[in-house]
Structure 1
Amino acid sequence: MVLPTLCQTAFIVLRQIEPILVMEQLGSTLFDTALQMVVRDRSANASYPDISREDSQQKAMSNFYMTYRLIILVTPILPALLLARLGDRGWRRAPIVVPLSGYLLSRLALLLVVVFRLPLEVMFGAAAVFGLSGGFCAYWPGVMALASIGSTATDRSKVMMRVELLYGIAGLVGSLVSGHLFQLYSSSLDHGTILLIVSTLLHLLSLIHSIVMLQVKQVPNREPEENRHLLYHTSRNDAVEVPAGINLLNVALLFAAAVLYDVAVGGAIEILGVFVLKQPLSWSATQVGYGNAAGFTIFLTSFLGVIMLRRYVSDVMLVLIGMVSFATGIYFMSFVTATYMFYLARSLNLFALIPMPTIRSLLSQQVPASSCGTTLTCLQLALKFAGLAYIPAFTKIYQRTLDWFPGFVFTLSSIFTVLGMIPISIVGCRSPQRRQYERIPVD
């Protein structure tokens, strides 16, 4: 009896989105480390007039990443909207399956670049293919939409944060081993080949799994008839009231907070990968993997923060706590000159990943379930449009400040984080006092 029960439980788990999420993130973290090291090696001989060789390498790397990420930002806009509409019309797996095919092709492209020593510019074409498949812009809202419709409104923020936790744990494991896998090579295989083979296989498995195994399950929002006899009183515990209509001002404020925070986080992370490869840090592939793992550890601490704090504070306060955590840590990052200081700065970012899933949870409660996928995709597109501005801006600011203050971009990120606290604070002031419901007996 025990074995059939375990097999049935395992089958149910395998039909959820989580196994796909884990395999995709493992493959992506391996790919990220490989791309970072390949770009560094290909930029070693870069030369620009009037600047040193190391600064020339930094400029070549940052220029590559700027172009690469701008392509990824621009190309998925229309495909992501189309996939979101398909998802809201009942094709919930479309925003998962199609982007995963783009993930697979882009990882395969970098493998070909390494094996056949193709020009690094081939990755610009891979980025375009990745974007035309919808990319992360379609994939992540699709994941969040499945998590949203598969949970009750009361538990939605916790479920979404659990998805973020699995995403972070997979990234942590992948980052820890990525640097070591990159070092594996033989007389016939260059550095990074084995790493990219594993990454490509993981994405292939996640794509096959999403086509064959993934199940879409929707939890009804209606309460049973007997639960409608309720009496409420004010409390600090969570409760969710269905709004009479969409509060457009709250939606706009949530979008503004998300965009400002994404500018802060995205701008800092855009430069951080290049920053750690220059002196005085000058990280190796293994250290890069460990540094990425430190970033993914924040997924775990942020999840634990949500579990511990959500009983005592509102969702808005959770967002503010996360923003303060990021602003403090990234400001300290401005003055990092040694590896231990880097980890100290990252340790201050314990709750930095709380804001975005919590904002998505708040947004999902402002719209009906039939528009949830479209709303979350519109938010993701807004973040993409913001990236079109902040990626080149942060890149050029970093290149201009390399001589006198390379960490200036991190100070700028902390300022944007503080600005993002303003609209979310207004949402908190506008929100009604939360209520807890208790059952009363019905004769």
Structure 2
Amino acid sequence: MVLPSCCQMIFAVVRQIETVVVLEQLASCFFDTALLLVVRDRSSNASYPGLSEEASRQRAMSDFYMTYNLIVSLVPILPALLLAKLSDRGRRKAPIVVPLGGYVLSRLGLLLVLIVGLPVQLMFGAAVLFGLSGGYSAFWPGVMTLASLGSTATDRSKVLMRVELLYGAAGLVGSLISGHLFLVNSSTLGDGVVLLIVSTLLNLLIFIHSIVLLQVKVSSSDENGHLLSSTSDNAAFAEAPGGINRVNMVLLFATAFLYDFAVGGAVEILGVFVLKEPLSWSATQVGYGNAAGCIIFLTSFVGVILFRRCFSDVTLILIGMVSFASGIYFMSFVTTTYMFYLARSLNLFALIPMPTIRSLLSQQVPSSSYGTTLTSLQLTLKFAGLAYIPAYTKIYQRTLDWFPGFVFTLSSIFTVLGMIPISIVRCRSPRSNQCYRRIQGD
């Protein structure tokens, strides 16, 4: 009797969106580590006039990632919008299943580069295929939509942060393993092939799982339509009787854009930065560094659980932004590995802002518009990527000789700028709260 009930519980857990998130992040960690180290190896013979050997390799790597990430950011825009429309018309699994197919194809592309010895530029074509499937621009809003549908407005920020926690925990495990797996090889396979095979098989498993087992669950509050939040601190985000508070929506989008510009630009360069002197990290150290970044998912989740009892969602966003700004500014002056981890330790709550912004946005619209709203936010972040990818790459290349950490100082400045629109939202709250109380009294 106990065994069948245990099996039913396991089966119920397996059908949740969290299972897809965990397995996909594991596979992505393996792929990201493999791609970075393959690009490093293929760039070792790069030569540019007037540049040293190390500077030439750094430029070749940053140029590759600039082109690759621009493709990944630009191509998915239209497919992601189409998949969001399908989601809001009832096909909630479409933004998850289709991109997962693209993940499989991109992993196969890098596997061909390693096994057959094809040029690494083949990954530009793989990035196009990945983008046409909707990519991360469709996948993550799809995940957030299913998580939002299965939660109430009151608990939504906690639920979305829990998904981020599992995403980070899987990233932690995957990053710790990836550096070691990259060095595993047989007599016929080179470095990285075993790692990529595991990544590809994991993505294929998730793709099949999302088609066959993934469950779409809707909470009772969303079945009855959009409900007003009863928390006075967040009342500024309750939907007004006449429609959506568009001023707050615009301010939230602006905050997300500026914060993503700062975070994305810094992360864009960080992977290349740790491979240059004086750090000169190995494959194992790259994995450990990625794991340190994933621990921030855990600390941010704990921060949400602790702070949400005392502070409003807007204040949580500001706490996270201050955390990132301080840590990334310290990163500007990192010259040793222990200093890198000290800088990372200041980023304890840096992941709080984005899921909290998503939670607030989802409370502005009925459940039938979750997919479009969250995908619009994700595409806004992609437009931020189209700006920061070339900008940060070129600035890094220009400042490589005199201050390679300048891009991190720049990220800190943009984070502070991002605090302005969300602070305006906070200043608007008292009037909104009064309006909310008047509506309740009526």
* Structures share fold, TM-score greater than 0.5: yes
The answer to whether the Cα contact below 8 Å between 2:334 and 2:340 also exists between their aligned partners in 1 is yes
Partner of 1:189 in structure 2? 189
**Percent same amino acid at aligned positions?**
74
Tell whether the 8 Å contact from 2:165 to 2:301 is kept in structure 1 after alignment: yes
Report the Cα distance in structure 1 between the residues aligned to 2:101 and 2:122, rounded to whole angstroms.
18
SS at match of 2:221: coil
- Structure 2 residue 103 is the aligned partner of structure 1 residue 98: no
Match of 1:309 in 2: 307
1:3-402 equivalences under 5 Å are: 3-221=3-221, 241-244=238-241, 245-402=243-400
Q: Does structure 2 retain, via aligned residues, the 8 Å contact 1:47–1:57?
A: yes
Runs of 4+ in 1 over 3 A off after TM superposition: 234-243, 432-437
Deviation of 1:57 after TM superposition, in Å, equals 0.2
Instruction: Write the distance in 2 (CA, Å) between the matches of 1:379 and 1:164.
Output: 17
- 1:263-294 residue CA offsets vs partner (Å, 9 max, x unmatched): 00000000000000000000000000000000
By how many angstroms is 1:304 displaced? Answer: 0.4
Residue identity matched to 1:254: L
Distance in 2 (CA, whole Å) between partners of 1:296 and 1:243 is 38
Query: Which residues of structure 1 form unaligned runs of 5+?
Result: 438-443
State the SS of the aligned residue for 2:265: helix
CA distance in 2, matches of 1:430, 1:239: 7
Q: In structure 2, what is the Cα distance between the partners aligned to 1:411 and 1:239? A: 33
**Partner Cα distance (1:117, 1:363) in 2:** 46
**Secondary structure at 2:44 match in 1:** coil
Does structure 1 conserve the Cα–Cα contact (< 8 Å) formed by 2:87 and 2:93? yes
AA in 1 matched with 2:367: A
Deviation of 1:119 after TM superposition, in Å, equals: 0.5
AA of the residue aligned to 1:220:
S
The answer on whether the counterparts of 2:152 and 2:222 sit within 8 Å (CA) in structure 1 is: no
Q: Given the alignment, which residue of 404, 407, 414 partners 1:406?
A: 404
1:241 deviates by 4.7
The 3-state SS of whatever aligns with 1:278 is: coil
Does structure 2 conserve the Cα–Cα contact (< 8 Å) formed by 1:154 and 1:239?
no
- Per-residue deviation, 1:433: 3.8
1:183 to 1:380, Cα distance in 2 relative to 1, 3 A: same
Letter in 2 for 1:59: R
After superposition, the Cα gap between the structure-2 partners of 1:434 and 1:299, relative to the gap in structure 1 and judged at 3 Å, is: farther
Q: Amino acid of the residue matched to residue 168 of structure 2?
A: G
Residue 243 of structure 1 aligns with an amino acid whose one-letter code is: A
The SS at the match of 1:221 is: helix
Q: Is the 8 A contact 2:237 2:245 kept in 1?
A: no
Calculate the TM-score normalised by the size of structure 2. 0.94
Q: Considering fraction of residues, name the structure with more helix.
A: 2
CA deviation after TM superposition for structure 1 residue 186, in Å:
2.2
1:328-371 C-alpha deviation (Å, 9 max, x unpaired): 00000000000000000000000000000000001111111111
1:429 shift after superposition: 1.5
2:440 aligns to what? none
- For residues 240 and 262 of structure 1, do their structure 2 counterparts lie closer, same or farther at Cα, with a shift above 3 Å needed? closer
How much has 1:236 moved relative to structure 2?
A: 6.5
In the aligned structure 1, how far is the partner of 2:404 from the partner of 2:322?
23
Equivalent in the alignment of 2:414: 416
**Alpha-carbon separation, structure 2, partners of 1:311 and 1:249:** 26
TM-score, reference length from structure 1: 0.94
186 and 434 in structure 1: CA distance in 2 versus 1, 3 angstrom threshold: farther
SS in structure 2 at match of 1:101 = helix
3-state SS, counterpart of residue 286 of structure 1:
helix
Q: 2:214 & 2:434 partners in 1: Cα distance?
A: 36
Mapped contact 2:29–2:174 kept (Cα < 8 A):
yes
Partners of 1:259 and 1:23 lie apart in 2 by: 28
Distance 1:328 1:8, change over 3 A: same
Tell me the distance in 1 between the aligned counterparts of 2:80 and 2:221.
27
Secondary structure, in 3 states, of the residue corresponding to 2:334? coil
Cα distance between partner residues in 2 of 1:258 and 1:325:
16
Q: 1:157 to 1:380 in 2, by over 3 A?
A: same
The question of whether the paired residues in 1 share the 8 Å contact of 2:15 and 2:214 is answered with yes
Q: Could you tell me how far apart the structure 1 residues matched to 2:434 and 2:147 are?
A: 24
**Paired AA for residue 115 in structure 1:** I
Give the distance between the partners of 1:223 and 1:168, measured in 2 at CA: 30
SS of the aligned residue for 2:220 comes to: coil
Q: Distance in 2 between matches of 1:321 and 1:235?
A: 19
Q: 3-state SS of the aligned residue for 1:281? A: coil
Q: Note the alpha carbon deviations across 1:204-224, whole angstroms, 9 max, x for none.
A: 110010000011111132799
> Shift of residue 87 of structure 1?
0.2
Query: Number of residue pairs matched?
Result: 431
Give how far 1:243 is off. 3.3
Distance 1:324 1:198, change over 3 A: same
Q: How far apart are 1:239 and its partner, in Å?
A: 11
**Alpha-carbon distance in structure 1 between the residues aligned to 2:237 and 2:220:** 15
Q: Is the 8 A contact 1:237 1:435 kept in 2?
A: no
Output the CA distance in 2 between the equivalents of 1:89 and 1:434: 36
Does the C-alpha gap of structure 1 residues 243 and 223 become closer, same or farther in structure 2, counting only changes over 3 Å? Answer: farther
In structure 2, what residue type is equivalent to 1:55? A
Q: Contact 2:274–2:281 at 8 Å: present in 1 too?
A: yes
* Alpha-carbon spacing, 1:199–1:236, altered in 2? closer, same or farther (3 Å): same
